[in-house]
Amino acid sequence: VGFTRLTPLSEAIAWIDRAVAGWVEVERLSLREARGRVLARDVSAEKNAPPFDRALADGYAVEACSTLGASTYNPLTFRLGDSGGAIFPQASAVALGSPLPANADAVVPLDHVEKDEAGNTFEIIDPIAAGANVERAGAAYSRGTLLLRAGLRLGPGHMALLAEAGIGAVEVVRSPRVQLVVTGKDLVTVGDELPTGAVFDADTPMLRGLVERDGGTVEICMTDRNSAHAVRTAIAARNTDLVIVIGGSGLGANDAIVVEALGRAARPGDDGLSIHGVALRPGLSSGIGRVAGMPLFLLPGLPVACLWAYEMLVGRAVRRLSGRSPELPYPQREFVALRKIVSNIGFVEVWPVRGVADTDCIEPILAAAPDSAGGLFSTVAEAAGFVLIPEASEGIPSGTRTLVYLYDAHRPDSV
Amino acid sequence: VGFTRLTPLSEAIAWIDRAVAGWVEVERLSLREARGRVLARDVSAEKNAPPFDRALADGYAVEACSTLGASTYNPLTFRLGDSGGAIFPQASAVALGSPLPANADAVVPLDHVEKDEAGNTFEIIDPIAAGANVERAGAAYSRGTLLLRAGLRLGPGHMALLAEAGIGAVEVVRSPRVQLVVTGKDLVTVGDELPTGAVFDADTPMLRGLVERDGGTVEICMTDRNSAHAVRTAIAARNTDLVIVIGGSGLGANDAIVVEALGRAARPGDDGLSIHGVALRPGLSSGIGRVAGMPLFLLPGLPVACLWAYEMLVGRAVRRLSGRSPELPYPQREFVALRKIVSNIGFVEVWPVRGVADTDCIEPILAAAPDSAGGLFSTVAEAAGFVLIPEASEGIPSGTRTLVYLYDAHRPDSV
């Protein structure tokens, strides 16, 4: 027994990239609903921006030619408002962003003028060039200009650009629906009484958070691990875009039931579990396939293994379905390994690390492999981030520069 | 006229850090509600983890001493289940994570044994050490161990740790309530008809997104810029933690009304607008103060100026109130400036930049100052990120390494 062959992580990732080529559906949402989503279509301007010539300073709109000859020896006086054939050239008070009055072609900023007491006239001592402090209609962009490209994730600044352009709704990638099929016995929801031998269900709240982080929505279904029929029914029950089955991925007696169920759920075109056993630790017993027409991931129930199986495999599929970058959503930075990290050849290993205060160094938190005792606590509470050690590597010698995925770019030190 | 003194950005930031020293209130939330929030109190373990000795492999639980002497020349046979005084030592099938049966102290992994046809017995050819593939009760942590420290922002992994530990609710920092007082005339909500001379309100949807990104919730109040009374009433109307007044920050005629209103709203202990005019471009006309007992920011209405005034000033206050790191929430990386960026001495300037494909270089997008024509479009649509040029600097010479704030760590290239 044992996994007869472990699929290299790179091969598992290639499988996912083939099976989940991109998003499936597009929906049209208002600006408010669309924030955080990924644009499904290019957005082009429907009109010019700004829509009119506008002032780029608080000041006085003038005809530039009327300022010719102004100097300290020859201050020119302007009259505000309608001069009605008066001897002074005319000017109008304008605010930054407001439309330029007809005939005006420049704005004299407030602090370049000397105003009289009554505020009806002002003097200038410098001529101003035509176009100064003025933004012409269409200067930013004109009708048909590409504003935002498909694939962009919409942030607050994009809301401003779209609103300014009068675009109140956009087509975005629909959020993928992810079904969590939680198999297992002796699993108790936190808050309930814990019988001896039972454990709290840590995977469901974690996976909900991970899927939502990656742009998906979650539907949860608890089912009995001992019944292949119950597992099969749960998988086929809902119309979702991806299924995650939790628990039963291993080689124990109960596990066989889940694996068998996944085989039987197959429809024409399905290939069941194409991969079972990935050269990844934690997360070795993960399975990947296509069941009931959907991509399906079988994850180990042990929380630290479930976490890394999601991060290294499932998350990539969810992010692809959401239209996001498939890469791990963590900031990366190079650090120096202060102590050696020993890794087994033949697996990609995830090692939690902590920063060493006031240095550019990190050190491993665990002495043993990360899926052993205390792995979850170390990974999520004691670590500032993690390193990925390639299959062919025996680890990271001390003193070597290595790429670290950080949980929080602002807090590389450990807690 | 003109701002008689511009407050240096560093001074404005110091003012904010003094005025908003940290969060005000704590609330107790269930795990599901608490995700994304900041822990207000340390969380310690209430019991041991794991709660019992458990198997760390799928396999057979045995007494290690019964395996002594096993070898290829001397395979030892074990009987599964209750041996009832049989000649073979006893073993029990266990799954990864399940409790170890009484008396057993080691787990022989499935792939280390040779099972008989019927599956009632198996042979081993290697002795196993006591404790092998076993995690002892309390090995991860014990009652009283500090699990998560106050100040941590709760992510999906923390959900797993808390759930596993049986902790169903935590005390987190309450989301700050931010009131947007939108002053202005000729502002139209996107979707409505646009009269000549009017513009769409880009600031409200943008600020909603920015405040929510930084952990706050938004209440919106539209008011008449021409009435000091209306502005005053709007500010005092709601019980919020911070007020943002948009529009009327400049030196135009209408602006004076808003600035006056902020003065009159003062209560004992208020200091009105302590700062008006910050050495920041875009965003120069921003004001900061304490009005009606709350920190108040007066932001320019021009969207590109409003954006940077929020990012460089208000966002810091909102993040502090949320318990988050006050720093700008963008990944940073060093790039080489391919072309010179010219900046004015005396201001911190924000310059949008684009990446140059297949190089480690960036270049500025605009030729003129970033608050001039097309600033918003360039900043949010054409840029991959931005650089901040210090007050005392005339800009960045070409060929110089410079720190870039990236909008998306995965897509440093421009659109």
Q: Please identify among residues 358-397 of chain B the ones whose CB lies closer than 8 Å to any CB of chain A.
A: 371-374, 376-377, 379-381
B394 Ramachandran zone, left/alpha/beta (phi>0; psi -120 to 50): alpha
d(CA A75, CA A298): 82
B414–A contact, CB cutoff 8 A:
no
If you measure CA to CA, which chain A residue comes closest to B327? A410
Which of B148, B212, B376 is facing A161, going by the closest CB pair? B376
Provide the sign of the torsion angle of the four alpha carbons B228, B233, B236, B238, taken in this order. Answer: negative
Would strands B348-355 and B385-389 be described as parallel, antiparallel, or unpaired? antiparallel
d(CA B204, CA A307): 38
Dump pLDDT digits (tens) for B20-76: 988 879 999 999 999 999 999 999 999 998 888 988 888 899 999 999 999 999 999
Name the strand (E) or helix (H) holding A11. helix A9-19
> Which residues of A fall within a CB distance of 8 Å from B372?
56, 135
A86–chain B nearest CA distance, Å: 24
Q: A135 and B372 in contact by Cβ < 8 A?
A: yes
Q: Which two tokens stand for residue A329?
A: 């959503």
Q: B200 and A1 in contact by Cβ < 8 A?
A: no
A393–chain B nearest CA distance, Å: 24
Between chain A and chain B, the number of residue pairs with CB atoms below 8 A apart is: 265
With tokens 């709601």, the residue in question is B238
The residues pairing with B91 across neighbouring beta strands, listed in sequence order, are B80
B354–A contact, CB cutoff 8 A:
no
Q: Please identify among residues 230-289 of chain A the ones whose CB lies closer than 8 Å to any CB of chain B.
A: 250-255, 285
Name the strand (E) or helix (H) holding B33. helix B31-34
d(CA A344, CA A26): 44
A119–B contact, CB cutoff 8 A:
no
pLDDT tens, residue order, chain A (415 aa): 367 789 999 999 999 999 998 887 999 999 999 999 999 999 999 999 888 898 888 889 999 999 999 999 999 999 887 655 567 788 888 887 788 998 899 999 888 888 887 778 889 999 999 999 998 999 889 999 999 999 999 999 999 999 999 999 999 999 999 999 998 777 888 888 888 878 899 999 999 999 999 999 999 988 877 778 888 888 877 789 999 999 877 776 667 778 877 776 556 667 788 899 999 999 999 999 988 788 999 999 889 999 999 999 999 999 999 999 999 999 888 999 999 998 889 999 999 999 988 889 999 998 777 766 578 998 999 899 999 999 999 999 999 999 999 998 766 544 3
Please report the DSSP string for A223-257 in residue order. Answer: E-TT-HHHHHHHHHHS--SEEEEES--SSSHHHHH
> Which residues of B fall within a CB distance of 8 Å from A147?
377, 381
For residues B111 and A2, the answer to whether their CB atoms sit within 8 Å is yes
The residues pairing with B342 across neighbouring beta strands, listed in sequence order, are B395
- Secondary structure letter of residue A65 according to DSSP: G
If you measure CA to CA, which chain B residue comes closest to A134? B373
Q: CB neighbours (10 Å) of residue B399?
A: 11
Q: Answer with the residue of higher pLDDT: B217 or A93.
A: B217
> Which residues of B fall within a CB distance of 8 Å from A373?
56, 135-136, 139-140
Q: Which residues of B373-386 are buried (b: 16+ CB within 10 A; e: fewer)?
A: bbbbbbbbbbbbbb
Which has the closest alpha carbon to B381: A135, A154, A173? A154
A201–B contact, CB cutoff 8 A:
yes
d(CA A306, CA A283): 6
